[in-house]
Amino acid sequence: MGARVFFHAENVIVSSLAVTVGNKSYAVAEVSSARSRRIRRWFRDSFELRLTLRDRGEETVLTHRNGYFVFQLVNAIESALNANSDAPSAAQQVIA
């Protein structure tokens, strides 16, 4: 079965298997949560996408000027995490 795509824009792809931003890719299984943070600057604000990874802790993955873009991205990552936790793993599947 192929990967389900939750978000695809610019250089960002969120699928049921991985979160890819530019040249970096993070497996959905290694991501615990996603959140955004607003950075206030003198003339304009920007927004960070921060992933909490199981092994490495929290990491800033993307900085973008459009807050709604980052909001949609966080929602897509949370949807991928929920879909991944709802799907039965290979160890739980029973073949009759």
Residue-wise pLDDT for 75-93, tens only, equals 999 999 998 876 554 444 4
Percent pLDDT > 90 in the chain is 73
Work out the pLDDT band at 43, boundaries 50, 70, 90. Answer: confident
pLDDT of residue 17: 92
38: domain range? 5-86
Q: Mind giving me the DSSP string for 44-83?
A: --EEEEEEEETTTEEEEEEEES-HHHHHHHHHHHHHHHHH
pLDDT of residue 22: 93
Any idea what the CATH number is for the domain that residue 81 is in? 2.30.29
In a domain, 20, yes or no: yes
CB 6 within 8 A of CB 15: yes
In a domain, 94, yes or no: no
pLDDT of residue 93: 43
Q: In this structure, what DSSP letter does residue 30 have?
A: G
DSSP reduced 3-state for 2: coil
In a domain, 93, yes or no: no
Look at the chain and report how many structural domains it folds into: 1
Read off the amino acid at residue 1: M
In a domain, 92, yes or no: no
In a domain, 67, yes or no: yes
Percent pLDDT > 70 in the chain is 88
Work out the pLDDT band at 58, boundaries 50, 70, 90. Answer: very high
